[in-house]
Amino acid sequence: MNIDWSQLITKAMKDAAIQAAQLTAAKTDLAVRNARALTQIARIQDRVDTIGFGIDIGEATPEDEAEQAALLLTLKAWKTYKFALGKVTVQPTWYQAPIWPVEPPIPEIIAAPLLGETNFV
């Protein structure tokens, strides 16, 4: 009987493969979360800026100003979330069991609907 030692898979090799898969999955998850955060920050910031233009030219209504104030709080929550995502990789449990920050709620912005929604009039 001949043994082909090149076909040997050790426990250490299996463990390394599992760790590599966990790292890839965690990096993918982090990238998705970061992209979602950036999308929300851009949407909210654009609406805040647009309302700011209305305020600057004296045409914003009290409702516009209230919307901007609420969005500024939401924007801060998303920026806080994005900052916290940047610290996930320094956790002692990184990639095997990351502790993800809680994602803030996604605001409804009628003037800037989410891409992919099908709201046709």
Sign of the CA dihedral 106, 115, 111, 72?
Answer: positive
| pLDDT bracket for residue 120 (50, 70, 90) | very low
Report the distance separating Cα 111 and Cα 109, nearest Å. Answer: 5
What is the pTM for the complete model shown?
0.82
pLDDT (tens digit per residue) in 64-76: 999 999 999 999 9
Q: What pLDDT does residue 31 have?
A: 98
| pLDDT bracket for residue 115 (50, 70, 90) | low
**Could you give the percent of the chain with pLDDT greater than 90?**
81
Decide if pLDDT at 113 tops 70.
Answer: no
pLDDT (tens digit per residue) in 25-71: 999 999 999 999 999 999 999 999 999 999 999 999 999 999 999 99
Burial-class residue 44 by CB neighbours within 10 Å (0-12, 13-18, 19+): buried
E strand map for 1-121: none
Q: What pLDDT does residue 83 have?
A: 98
| Residue whose C-alpha is closest to residue 104's, from 53, 37, 39 | 37
